[in-house]
Amino acid sequence: MFKNSILRNVFLSHAACDASHIKKLFFFLLIFQAFAFDTRAQSITGTVKNNNGEAIEGVSVVIKNSSTGTSTGANGQFSITVKNRGDTLVFTYVGFETKEVAARPGSPVSVVLNPNTVTGNEVIVVGYGTQSKRNVTGSVSKADLARTENLPNTNITQAIRGSVAGVQVVDNGRPGESGSILIRGPRSLSASNNPLIVLDGIIFGGNLADVNPNDILSMDILKDASASAIYGSRAANGVILITSKKGMTEKPTIRINAFKGISDWAYKVKLFDAARYAQSKLDWREQSGLVADPAKITDYLTVTEADNYKNGISHNPWDMASQQGKISSYDISVSGRSKATNYYLSAGLVDEKGLIYNDNQKRTSLRANLDNNVTDWLNIGMNATFVRRDLSGVSAALGDAYTNSPYGVWFYPDGEPTQYIVPEDQAYGNPVRPSLLTTNEEISSNLFSNFYAKIDIPFIKGLSYRVNYSPNIRWNHSYNFFRQDKHLPNNTTTASKMNYESFDWVVENILTYKRQIGKDHNIDVTLLYGRNHSKYESTTASAAQLSSDALGYNSLALGSILTNISTAEAFEGISSMARVNYRFRDKYLLTLTARRDGSSVFAENNKYATFPSGSLAWIVSDESFMEKIKFIDLLKLRVSYGSVGNQAINPYQSLGLSNTTQYVFGDGGGTSVGVFPSSMENSNLKWETTNTLNAGLDFTLFGGRLSGTIEAYNSTTKDLLVRRTIPTLTGYSSIFTNIGETNNKGLEISLNSINIQIKNFEWNTTVVFSNNKNKIVHLYGSDINGDGKEDDDLSNSWFIGQPITSYYDYVFDGIYQEGDDIPAGSKPGFVRLKDLNGDKKIDAKDRTIVGSGGQPKYRFGITNNFKYKNITLSVFLNGMQGWISNFPLLNTAVSPNAPGRGLNQLDAGYWTKENKSTTRPSLVYNNPLRHDWYMSKNFVRIQDVSLGYDFSKSMITKFRLQNLRVFLSAKNLYTFTDWLGSDPEVGATSSSDFYPMPRAITVGINVGF
């Protein structure tokens, strides 16, 4: 009864602001007092050993749900004072499973900790708190960061790539790029599909590249509605909870982690090389009906190209636009804990040079986590991180490199870059000219912090209140100065300064109550009320035709054309949440959650939405009838159902907005500012809601040798937030709106197996597999054509019953060969399209769904770890299968990549009279119907291989070291794929995005004092 009232009170507090409910709140809070226990302090002693019977020093021993704790001494012994009879001691140590033991004063406690190679009783971060994995009822995956400890990751997305079931990570390998994460496939058509990132309990608004992976203790991924509903409003795409490190031992621990590596191109997009380029010009001439005499090739090339051809000079543009990839990372941390204080301080430095010229990042990161018990009932602390990323330097233009002739001239004799490498054909510039002529300073800074206070409310055991205040300030600037090109007569100087600043804050009030009632009942209630705010502003000032280039971008007033742009946006949110975890006899587990959120981004009357969820779990293996089945250690069944919302759209989308433009009247006149409507209002814009049914089975078998999780889910998303294409007759080409319904069904399997475990050798394997099938269920509910089925939306390429990313196009049906019945307008070497309706002509009616993409049908990751004595070897394979993508660059002859000009293009082969390809058209096929080209994105990748050596204790104690580990690792060793772009997983289809995936070899060292 009290539960419901409290919920109602919290939920309605923003709506009904009368005084009467304050009284109610008082009343119900006071009820908690009734459960208060009498207290009496007692001392408990004991020892902690590992599974080999060796004492472990530095194990953290904490009284559960309190901040009281100690750590074990050199012989594994500890002593701690407990106040309450029902208290539980929690033993944690890095690399070992956490263990909970009931505090029974009397004889000494003997605790054995097992290494946590097998998921056992880990602590899982579940949002606004932690839970023993055993007691979790929702779908939560823990990312195994132990696997990635020895890998040269500079970004947390790299650390979980391919290793968590149902999670797809795309990291394009560029320095300073954040990568993206997709949990259980895309739900939304055009709102963001990025999961919510929660860093140390606070929603993180920055760039994932701002997080130093070395500071991260764990990442927990909430996948089903029940688990993520506590973050209801923003949780539709799943939640990733990142927890940074804390002090674990009383003795300060100093850790140094350093690595250095080099990288090269894992794959180079194949362009015509010099010989094939020349041949392609001849073939193109022949196919165009021009004279094509190989002896006169120099006449057919531009004069510039011909000179180089005659002199045997040619360039591979990728080589010209690249640099040696390098990475070095240095990281130091100090952590520890005393009775009152727990601290973790770290500093890191990463210096990365990407493979593309000037594509660099330098990152400096600092972190301070402090936690202090002021009194036995008051705990305050802060987590703060400051990151500065320096991305200065304009990187070489890949789109330009892609199109550049192998016979071009890149530099003048004086070393200055040319403007165009083939000056006769000025379609694309010299890829490195902007890099060389521009002085660029681009720095982004992020100060993210959380200040909190936690009060254990006296007299009511288990009741505590926590307040978080989390300010986040981010400021970036990008300054550019393009200097005078000494070879051009006109003034080429331009300069600009962009300054961006954003400030977000979150305030949260969290009330938790944990109680064991009698022997059988455990209850755990969390109530939350919070507000969040974010605002950004930016200003860009530009100057062109500077009268002096002495001051670079520092004095824009020197410009003769000055322009200024500035903008700002703000966002507000209000949230309240209640969660109840209930355990009966530790076998039957129930979680109920409800969250109500308000977000400013929606239309006037749709700001709020409520998201309830519930889940049940049953630990089958604890039933008496299971006792006979010895090989089962743990068997847990889970089922959950609930809803979460999505608000991942930019502010102001429900409003009709206007934009500005400029015009100049009269000769010699000044600028006139114009305004025009730029977006259609949508007064109905509302929350997107996803309902998910999730069933899971967790098991541990054969004494921990085999464990895993199998999960199936079915989720339906209603009122999808979409940017929908609408007729331009309305004046707008698209609008943000809610429509229809999509469905995601999937299966996820994670298996951990200790295959061999003998004296000096261990081999274990982790397999994750997931598949996700997504389809559109409803769109607009109209049936205009009267076929009894809901109509599709051709212009958006959305079809009922088909995946969200479906390709609707003409069907490729081979290449017309000489002697075929060829229609007017086509000729041998042109693409034959299928006449689907058999009306003897190819028109819009011959289009159909040719395939789907966006996400693979299934994904898998296999990690094999081998350990022989002190040597460890880890091999990780990552694969995705069952998806295609369009790839427009397979077109042979569409301007501006006309093969008749001094421009290069993709070498995917082409039809000639001699080589009658059945898959590739001739060089003059102009694709009048503008059909697209498609390619499989399937791949299997040897993602990470890492070899490590741990120096034995006896060797390193001489140097007073706690551990010393050296490692050698390789990243992206080889990818098996037919994809012709730079990388199938990243899937870029535009030449300007063809950043190479680096294949990196790294050596590193881990030292602990």
Partner 1 sequence: MKSLKKNALHKSIIVFACLILAMGCDKDVLKETPLGSLSSEVVLTTKAGFETYLIGLHQAAREEMTMDDQTYIMNFIGTDIASAAGVEFVFYKDYNSYLNPATREVVNIWNWAYSQMILRANTVITYANKPDAATIWATEKEKNAVIAEARFFRGYTYNLLANLYGGAPIVDSIFSSPKTDFVRSTRQQVYEFAKEDLAFASQWLPATVPKASEGRIVKAAADHLLSEVYISLGDYDKSIASANLVINSGLYHLMTDRFGSRKDLSGDVYSDLFQDGNQNRSSGNFESIYIWQFEAFTAGGGGSQGGNSQIRQWGPFLSKVKDPAGISMIVTDSLGRGTGPIRGTNYYLYDIWTTDWSNDIRNSDFNMRRKYYYNNSASAAYFGKIVEPKTDPEDTMRNIYAYPKKVEGKPWNNINTSGRTVKDVTVFRLAETYLLRAEAYFRKGDLSNAATDVNIIRSRAKASAVAPANVTLDYILDERARELITEEPRRRTLTRMGKLVERVRKYSLLATTKSTIQNKHEFFPIPQTAIDANLNAKLDQNTGY
**Which of 423/1008 has CB closer to partner 1?**
423
CB of 899 to partner 1, least distance (A): 8
Contact 175, 360 (CB under 8 A): yes
DSSP category for residue 657: -
Nearest to 366 by CA among 324, 321, 333: 333
Shortest CB 732 distance to partner 1, Å: 6
Decide the pairing of beta strands 196-199 and 239-244.
Answer: parallel
Closest to partner 1 by CB, 294 or 727:
727
Q: What gap in Å lies between CA 744 and CA 408, rounded to an integer?
A: 51
In eight-state DSSP terms, residue 493 is: -
- Give the rounded distance of the alpha carbon of 130 from its chain centre: 23
Instruction: Round to whole Å and give the CA distance between 448 and 210.
Output: 10
Closer to partner 1 by Cβ: residue 123 or 776: 776
| Least distance from partner 1 to the Cβ atom of residue 468, Å | 11
Round to whole Å and give the CA distance between 850 and 932: 10
Closest separation between CB of residue 538 and partner 1, Å?
9
Q: How far is the CB of 202 from partner 1 (least distance, A)?
A: 16
What's the length of the chain? 1009
**DSSP letter string over 29-58?**
HHHGGGGPPP---EEEEEEEEETTS-B-SS
CB of 743 to partner 1, least distance (A): 22
User: What stretch of H or E contains 24?
Assistant: helix 20-31
- Nearer to partner 1 among residue 267 and residue 736 (C-beta): 736
The H or E element spanning position 4 is helix 2-12
Q: How far apart are CA 906 and CA 909, in angstroms?
A: 8
Whichever of 617 and 903 has its CB closer to partner 1, that residue is 903
Given the complex with partner 1, which of 631 and 665 has the nearer CB atom?
Answer: 665
- Tell me the C-alpha distance between 792 and 742, whole Å: 13
Q: Which is nearer to partner 1, 162 or 900 (CB)?
A: 900
Nearer to partner 1, 41 or 758 (CB): 41
We find the least distance from the C-beta atom of residue 928 to partner 1, in angstroms, to be: 4
Between strands 109-113 and 77-82, the pairing is: unpaired
Q: How far apart are CA 424 and CA 515, in angstroms?
A: 81
User: CA 859 to CA 851: how far, in whole Å?
Assistant: 18
Q: How far is the CB of 380 from partner 1 (least distance, A)?
A: 14
Taking the least distance from each CB to partner 1, the nearer of 53 and 289 is: 289
CA 61 to CA 77: how far, in whole Å? 10
Strands 42-50 and 130-132: unpaired
CB-based burial of residue 559 (10 Å sphere; 0-12 exposed, 13-18 middle, 19+ buried)?
buried
Q: Which residue, among 291, 114, 356, 368, has the nearest Cα to 982 in the 3D structure?
A: 356
Q: Which is nearer to partner 1, 703 or 801 (CB)?
A: 801
Q: Are 481 and 549 in contact (CB under 8 A)?
A: yes
Least Å distance between CB 6 and partner 1? 12
Q: CA-CA distance, 657 to 677, in Å (whole number)?
A: 6
Nearer to partner 1 (CB atom), residue 51 or residue 658: 658
CA 520 and chain centroid, separation: 41
> Which lies closer to partner 1 via its Cβ, residue 287 or residue 360?
287
Cis peptide before 896 (omega within 30 of 0): yes
Count the neighbouring beta carbons within 10 Å of the beta carbon of residue 788: 6
Task: Tell me, rounded to whole angstroms, the distance of Cα 852 from its chain centroid.
Answer: 22
Q: What are phi and psi of 730, to 5 degrees?
A: -75, -10
Task: For partner 1, give the closer residue by CB, 26 or 976.
Answer: 26
- CB of 285: closest distance to partner 1 in angstroms? 8
DSSP secondary-structure letter at 395?
P
Question: Please, which residues bridge with residue 325 across strands?
Answer: 263
Which lies closer to partner 1 via its Cβ, residue 899 or residue 1004? 899
> Buried b / exposed e across 189-207, counting CB within 10 Å, b at 16+?
bbbbbbbbbbbbbbbbbbb
Nearer to partner 1, 625 or 665 (CB): 665
- Least distance from partner 1 to the Cβ atom of residue 292, Å: 12
Select from 959, 999, 970 the least CA-distant residue to 982.
Answer: 999
* Min CB(795)–partner 1 separation in Å: 4
List the one residue out of 409, 555, 561 whose CA is nearest residue 491: 561
Q: Which of 726, 740, 844, 837 is nearest to 790 (CA)?
A: 740
Minimal distance, residue 302 CB to partner 1, in Å: 7
Contact 866, 762 (CB under 8 A): yes
- Compute the least distance from the CB of residue 685 to partner 1, in Å: 11
What residues form DSSP beta bridges with 433? none
What DSSP string describes 171-219?
----TT---EEEESS---SSS--PPEEEETTEE--S-GGGS-GGGEEEE
Structure tokens at 876: 């990780």
**446/494 with CB nearer partner 1:** 494
Q: Between 526 and 682, whose beta carbon lies closer to partner 1?
A: 682
Minimum Å distance from CB 290 to partner 1? 6
Considering the complex, what minimum distance in angstroms separates the CB of residue 900 from partner 1? 4
CB of 728 to partner 1, least distance (A): 4
Nearer CB in complex with partner 1: 86/731: 731
**Is 782 exposed, middle or buried, given 0-12, 13-18 or 19+ CB atoms closer than 10 A?**
exposed
Place of tokens 């000056």: 423
Measured from the CB of residue 476, what is the shortest distance to partner 1 in angstroms? 17
Closest CA to 1000 of 974, 981, 962: 974
